[in-house]
């Protein structure tokens, strides 16, 4: 089979023609993977283009894409193969008369069982084997791209199932034998780092950590997608999104969400980015309520660092980087007024509560060192024997008995 790429530059060119803008490091790793026939493990946050790389690789090479979407609790039957029991049962019903003829000359149960066992291969054969993505990639008569997506979400048991396939490009079926790939597939595994992957799996793969692209490359990606947004506005949008990623958000805006935001603004006919229209549409990139609020609070200064933040764009409880006060009460931003200070000073004045504020009366007054009167708390009240007996029901009998 001829090589799919002539070099690193050819990878970058082929990917760009299919709408995927690579950097030098990513193009180099993809080229090495194609020449060494090694699986490639891509790790990084969601939305940086890991899954899209596998799709683009299939499009650029003309290979069929097979995808195994991993999830918690997934077993090998969904990844490797399973037997088509419904089909086996149907054939059994159809061949009932033939089965009766087969067992007609047997006289014992052991003989009948032995006769049926001789026909095992008829029902556990390739005819009844339902191939899943891993086995299908190995058995494919044409070269394919196999995407094992979000492998970190699967259980560790599934990782063990993957090892044979990743190391040898083969799958063993005990009832039939071992299938070996005629054309080694390009294998891309992706992980969002929700858990650590085993050393055995990583050892079998080339590895690349994908981060969010720099501003220049992200702008180039935005241009390649034909969002319809003006180029000047697109440049500004990229800077704003990068600013949002710097906030303490539960989920940072992904590249695909940036593209969606650009298309949204283009549909609305926006040519100049303003805080108000961005605040109205920020839910395209912020998918949690807290993230939306924090993003709306930050947008005015991301659009214009010197802008005055309208009250309706920020909520209390978030730091906006500037002090402010409302109605004479402090919000924790370092600014106060004289009225607030006077009220707090009044709260510290001795004697502003009555004698019963702490649940007891003052028994009298004395003099402090300054000669002023001060309250002397009353001595604790004693507890009578009858009150003690009521407090401890178990001792009631003892309380009634008189000494002899």
Report the pLDDT value the prediction gives residue 121, as an integer from 0 to 100: 63
The reply to whether the predicted model has a pTM over 0.75 is no
Encoded tokens for 78: 């969904």
Between the alpha carbon of residue 316 and those of residues 294, 310, 340, 344, 362, the distances in Å are: 10, 13, 18, 21, 43
Q: What is the DSSP letter of 274?
A: -
Average pLDDT rounded to a whole number, residues 208-231: 93
Report the pLDDT value the prediction gives residue 17, as an integer from 0 to 100: 94
Q: Long-range contacts made by residues 219-226, C-beta under 8 angstroms, separation at least 24?
A: 220/21, 221/21, 221/255, 221/259, 222/258, 222/259, 222/262, 224/16, 224/19, 224/21, 225/19, 225/259, 225/262
8-77+132-209: CATH topology is: Rossmann fold (3.40.50)
- With the CA atoms of 263, 268, 270 and 273 taken in that order, what torsion angle do they form, in degrees rounded to the nearest 10? -80
As a whole number of Å, the CA-based R_g of the chain is: 37
Lowest mean pLDDT among 63-67, 115-119, 203-207, 365-369: 365-369
Average pLDDT rounded to a whole number, residues 216-230: 93
pLDDT tens for residues 46-93?
889 999 999 999 999 999 999 999 999 888 888 888 887 777 677 777
| Confidence band, pLDDT 50/70/90 cuts, at residue 127 | confident
- Proportion of the chain above pLDDT 90, given as a percent: 53
Question: Is a pLDDT exceeding 60 seen at residue 345?
Answer: no
pLDDT tens for residues 348-364?
455 544 554 444 444 44
Domain boundaries defined on the chain: 8-77+132-209, 82-128, 215-300
| Confidence band, pLDDT 50/70/90 cuts, at residue 313 | very low
CA distance from start to end of the chain: 113
Quote the CA–CA distance of 176 and 129 in Å, as a whole number: 10
């Amino acid at each position: 089979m001829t090589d799919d790429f002539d070099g690193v530059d050819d990878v970058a060119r082929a990917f760009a023609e299919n709408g995927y803008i690579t950097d030098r490091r990513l193009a180099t790793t993809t080229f090495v993977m194609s020449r060494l026939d090694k699986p490639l493990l891509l790790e990084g946050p969601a939305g940086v283009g890991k899954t899209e790389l596998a799709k683009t690789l299939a499009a650029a090479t003309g290979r069929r894409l097979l995808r195994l979407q991993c999830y918690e609790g997934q077993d090998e039957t969904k990844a490797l193969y399973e037997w088509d029991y419904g089909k086996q049962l149907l054939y059994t019903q159809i061949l009932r008369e033939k089965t009766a003829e087969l067992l007609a000359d047997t006289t014992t149960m052991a003989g009948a069982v032995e006769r049926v066992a001789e026909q095992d291969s008829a029902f556990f054969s390739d005819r009844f084997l339902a191939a899943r993505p891993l086995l299908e990639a190995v058995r494919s008569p044409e070269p394919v791209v196999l995407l094992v997506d979000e492998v970190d979400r699967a259980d560790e048991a599934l990782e063990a199932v993957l090892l044979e396939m990743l190391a040898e490009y083969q799958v063993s079926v005990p009832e039939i034998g071992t299938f070996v790939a005629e054309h080694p597939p390009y294998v891309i595994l992706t992980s969002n780092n929700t858990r650590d992957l085993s050393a055995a799996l990583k050892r079998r793969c080339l590895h690349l950590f994908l981060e969010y692209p720099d501003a220049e490359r992200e702008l180039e990606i935005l241009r390649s997608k034909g969002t319809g947004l003006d180029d000047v506005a697109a440049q500004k949008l990229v800077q704003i999104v990068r600013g949002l990623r710097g906030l303490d958000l539960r989920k940072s805006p992904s590249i695909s969400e940036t593209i969606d935001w650009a298309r949204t603004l283009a549909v609305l006919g926006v040519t100049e980015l303003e805080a108000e229209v961005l605040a109205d549409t920020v839910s395209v990139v912020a998918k949690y309520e807290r993230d939306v609020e924090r993003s709306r609070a930050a947008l005015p200064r991301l659009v214009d660092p010197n802008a005055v933040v309208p009250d309706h764009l920020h909520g209390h409880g978030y730091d906006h980087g500037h002090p402010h006060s409302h109605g004479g009460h402090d919000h924790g931003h370092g600014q106060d007024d004289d009225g607030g200070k006077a009220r707090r000073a009044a709260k510290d004045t001795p004697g502003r509560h009555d004698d019963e504020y702490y649940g007891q009366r003052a028994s009298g007054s004395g003099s402090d060192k300054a000669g002023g009167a001060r309250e002397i708390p009353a001595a604790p009240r004693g507890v009578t024997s009858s009150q003690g007996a009521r407090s401890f029901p178990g001792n009631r009998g003892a309380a009634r008995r008189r000494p002899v």
